[in-house]
Amino acid sequence: CWMENLMCMSVTLVLLFMGLLYVFCIVCQWIMGWPDKPGYMKYLEAANPRIYRLTIATLDLLNYLKYIRLYYQLTSWYSNKENLKHFQKGLVFGRRRNKLDLYFPPKSEDTPTPLVVFVYGGAWSSGSRSIYCLLARQMANELNATVVCPDYSIYPKGNVVGMVQDVADCLIWAQENGPRFNFDKDKVVLVGHSAGAHLCALTTLFLADGREELLIESEKQELITRSIRGVILSGVYDIMDHYQHEKTRGIEFVSAMHNAMTGEENFPLYSPTCVVKKLSQEKLPRFALLHGINDVVVPFESSSKLSEILASRSVKASLHLLPDVSHTDIATDLMLSNRRLYQRIYRIIKQEF
C-alpha cells in the first residue's frame, strides 16, 4: 500500500512540476510575445516541448542577482553630482536627438587624446548609457582616452538600420566636436559588447561600403571611415547562426532580434560575416575580437567565425578566447578595479588599443 501511495505522490509531483513549467512559460509568452504563427497555431507552437528550454533560459536570468551590489554602485555613482567633474552627461547628437555621455581622460593635456566610442549591448531591445558609467570611467583612466557612451534607438523604437544610423551619427558628432572636448577626431576606436559589438562591426562595414541606408553624404562617410583606427568587440556577428542558437535555448520568439533585423529574410543583410565578404580589405580598420569560452548567450564560435573570414579577406584582426569568462563577465568586470577579470581583460584591450 505504501508503494502505491509513493508512486501516486511521485506522479503527482512530476505532473505538478510540468504544469508549473508550462504555466510559467505560457505567461512568459503572453508578456513577451506569441510565436509568429497564424491563428491557433501560435498557441500550439507556444506549448510544444521547447517551452522547457525557455524555462531554463529564463531561470538563467537569476544569475543577474549577483550584480545587485554592482548595480547600486553604478546608479549611485551616476546620480552623484560630485562625479560630474569626471564626465559630462546628456549631450544631444544625431538626427533622432539621442544623448551621449562623455568621460574625460585622467590627465588634462594640451595634446588631444584618442576617442573611444563604447556601444553597449542589450539584445537590441534594452540598455542605457547610464548603466555603463563605471565601465566608461575606468576605460578613460586605463587608456588615457576620452570615452563617449551613446544611447541608440533600441527596438521597438527603432530597427537595426536606425541603430546603425545612430552609431554613425555619434561618429559625425565626434568629427564636429573634437576641438571642443580636446580629443582627436581622427583617432577613433569603437568598442562594443554583445548587440553593441554587432552594431559597431556593422556600422564600420556600412561606412566602408558607402551604404545608402545610412542617409549620409558619401564624402562624410569616407571621412568617418578614415577616422576609425580600430574596432574592439565581443558579441554577435552572424545573425543566422545566432537565430539557430536562440532556437536551442527556446527564446527565438521572445527575443527582439528577429524583429529588430526586420525579418528572417534580411538576416544576411545585417550579418557582418556576410557583409565583410564583399568589401576590400584596404578600406577596413584593424579588428580585435575578445570572447569568453563560457559564454552561453553568444557562443565563442561567433568570434572565431568572423576572425576566420577577416583573415581570408586579409583584414588585420586578432582573436582572444578567454577561459572561465561568461557573456556578462566581459563587460561587468571592466567596471571596478577589484573585479576578478579586470586586469586580465584590460591587459588585452590595452595591447590592442
Q: Evaluate if residue 49 carries a pLDDT over 60.
A: no
pLDDT tens for each residue of 151-171: 999 999 999 999 999 999 999
Q: Evaluate if residue 13 carries a pLDDT over 90.
A: no
Question: pLDDT value at position 46?
Answer: 62
Is residue 242 among the annotated active site residues?
Answer: no
242, 303, 327, 329: the catalytic one is 327
pLDDT tens for each residue of 276-334: 998 887 889 999 999 999 999 999 999 999 999 999 999 999 999 999 999 999 999 99
* CA of residue 196 relative to chain centroid, distance: 3
271 phi and psi angles, rounded to 5 deg: -105, 115
Question: pLDDT value at position 250?
Answer: 77
The share of the chain scoring above pLDDT 90, in percent, equals: 75
Higher per-residue confidence, 27 vs 212: 212
Q: Evaluate if residue 56 carries a pLDDT over 90.
A: no
Q: Evaluate if residue 80 carries a pLDDT over 80.
A: yes
Q: Evaluate if residue 136 carries a pLDDT over 60.
A: yes
Q: Evaluate if residue 259 carries a pLDDT over 60.
A: yes
Mean pLDDT, residues 87-107 taken together: 96
Is residue 258 among the annotated active site residues?
Answer: no
Cell numbers at 292, concatenated: 569568453
Is residue 327 among the annotated active site residues?
Answer: yes
Q: For the purposes of burial, counting CB atoms within 10 Å of the CB of 325, is it exposed (0-12), middle (13-18) or buried (19 or more)?
A: buried
Mean pLDDT, residues 35-60 taken together: 65
Cell numbers at 237, concatenated: 556577428
Cell numbers at 54, concatenated: 525557455
Question: pLDDT value at position 280?
Answer: 81
Closest CA to 207 of 181, 152, 169: 169
Q: State how far the Cα of 287 lies from the Cα of 313, in Å rounded to an integer.
A: 12
Q: State how far the Cα of 299 lies from the Cα of 321, in Å rounded to an integer.
A: 11
Q: What is the pTM of this model?
A: 0.87
Question: pLDDT value at position 305?
Answer: 98
Instruction: Break the chain into its structural domains and give their ranges.
Output: 85-352
Radius of gyration of the chain (CA): 22
DSSP 151-208: ----TTT--HHHHHHHHHHHHHHHHHHHHHHTEEEEEEEEEEEEHHHHHHHHHHHHHH
DSSP 238-267: -HHHHHHHHHHHT-TTT-SHHHHTTSGGGG
- Band (pLDDT 50/70/90 cuts) for residue 17 is low
Cβ atoms 166, 89 nearer than 8 A: no
194, 227, 255, 302: the catalytic one is 194
Mean pLDDT, residues 224-228 taken together: 96
Q: Is 314 left (phi over 0), alpha (psi -120 to 50) or beta?
A: left
228 phi and psi angles, rounded to 5 deg: -80, 110
Mean pLDDT, residues 133-154 taken together: 97
CATH architecture under which domain 85-352 falls: 3-Layer(aba) Sandwich (3.40)
Closest CA to 266 of 240, 227, 241, 305: 240
pLDDT tens for each residue of 176-186: 999 999 999 99
Question: pLDDT value at position 65?
Answer: 79
Q: Evaluate if residue 47 carries a pLDDT over 70.
A: no
101, 169, 184, 295: the catalytic one is 295
Closest CA to 165 of 260, 229, 96, 237: 96
203, 206, 210, 216: CA torsion to nearest 10: -40
Higher per-residue confidence, 187 vs 54: 187
Averaged pLDDT of the chain: 90
